[in-house]
Structure 1
Amino acid sequence: NLRFNKVVICTDADVDGYQIRTLVLTMLYRLTPTLINKGYVYIAESPLYEINTKNKTYFAYTEPEKTDILRRIDGEKYTIQRSKGLGENDPEMMWLTTMSPESRRLIKVLPTDAERTAEVFDLLLGDNLQGRKDHIAEHGAEYLDDLDVS
């Protein structure tokens, strides 16, 4: 009885947004796995950076994209700013970067993605204390550069 052909998860491109995305994916995987198995669930990518030159605005969704754009506009004056949260964008910016079917970027969620997300979510937030400790001891150092403890 699905009335639409896509369920799109749209969160900020920061750690809080990723956590919310993980929670929503886990909820969908647990409560409505058919949506994922039939290929209806997508993640809308939101840009990390807005790069403005005199004549054009560029959006970079990853650090390598930002580097590539800056290389391509070499010699031009530009301003660069970290994108605001989606709730702070004006409607035109939301349409351009996230909502318009012509310019948005969607990532299709595959059943294996959702299954792995649910497994990690259970491990990190579930009742298996020893499993969580073992995972952190084994893999914690891999995430030290991502910590935000300012």
Structure 2
Amino acid sequence: MNLRTPLKKSNRLMLKHEGAKLFAAINYETGHITHREEEQCDVNAFLRFLGDILEEYPEGKIFMILDNSRIHHASKLKLFLDKHKRLHLVFLPKYSPKLNLTEGLWKWVRQDVINNVYFKKFYLIRLHVSKFMKRLNANPQKVIDRLLVRL
């Protein structure tokens, strides 16, 4: 895996690292973030993330609000949902990122963790993202104030 991809910008040479593939869900009531880092952003990775959600919330109905990504509509997902009846997916209108709370989370991750930093090794990105998520989960009121109040 090549982590150093040179990009030309004017007369300068920039280095670009690979991005982390993240899934996240924000509990609107508590501000707790459940996240999963993956190497691929595909339906199998999404199914593993849904398994994490079901494990974290072992009882009651779960309503997840999602964008219209292709992986959220994959046929494999229907089979999974048929087995896990308490999990309900609710889709946002198309092209409505301002309604998607996790878009605000991704912006926050980019601002505080990824932007203006070159990570020589991919595991360092994952480590910094994981530490950031732990900090947020240690202070869920900060998550509520920044991401959830705007609705």
What TM-score, normalized by structure 1, do the two folds share?
Answer: 0.29
CA radius of gyration, larger in: 1
